[in-house]
Amino acid sequence: MVTNYKAAVVMPVNYQREMLLQQKDSSYPWGPRKWGFFGGKIEQDETPEIALRREMGEELGERRLLENIRYFGDFPFMDKNINGTEREGFLHVFSADFVGDIADITLREGKGFTFLSHEEMDRYDIFWHNRRVIDAYYDSLSR
C-alpha cells in the first residue's frame, strides 16, 4: 500500500459554471479512461501551489488559462490500481476560473478533456473521490 500520497488538483470552471475534466488514457494504472481533475503528485519539497503550477504546465501547456486560483480544501482518498496496489492520502484541491477558449488548451497528458455541467456528470465515469469533491464544490455555490 502506498500511504501519505499527496496530490494537488484543480477544478477549472468557466463562466457557465461548467467544470473542465480530463479523461485519463487507457494506460493510466489508477483508472484507465476515467474522468477526473487535472493535477498530480506533490513532489518532495514542493508546496501544493507549486506542484499545481508545475502540473498545469505539464498537462495543459504553458498558456495561462486559469485565473483566481483558490484553495478549496483537503480531501482524503483511497483507491486501487489495476494491479491491486492501494494508495491513500490527500487531494489538495483548488478551484479556478477558466479564461480563454477551449481551443487554447494544449493537452499533454490524458486521452481528452471536456467541460461538463454538474448535471451532465452523471453520464461520465468520474473517479469517485473526485466526484465527492465536485459535489461539495457545487453545493458550496448554492450557499
- Mean of pLDDT over the chain: 93
Given a contact cutoff of 8 angstroms between Cβ atoms, the answer to whether 109 and 58 are in contact is yes
Instruction: Give the number of other Cβ atoms within 10 Å of residue 90's Cβ.
Output: 17
Residue-range definition of the domain harbouring residue 28 = 2-141
pLDDT in tens, 26-68: 998 999 999 999 999 999 999 999 999 999 988 887 668 899 9
pTM: 0.93
- Please count the structural domains in the chain: 1
The H helix count followed by the E strand count for the chain is 2, 7
pLDDT at 62: 65
**Cα distance between residue 33 and residue 94, in whole Å:** 23
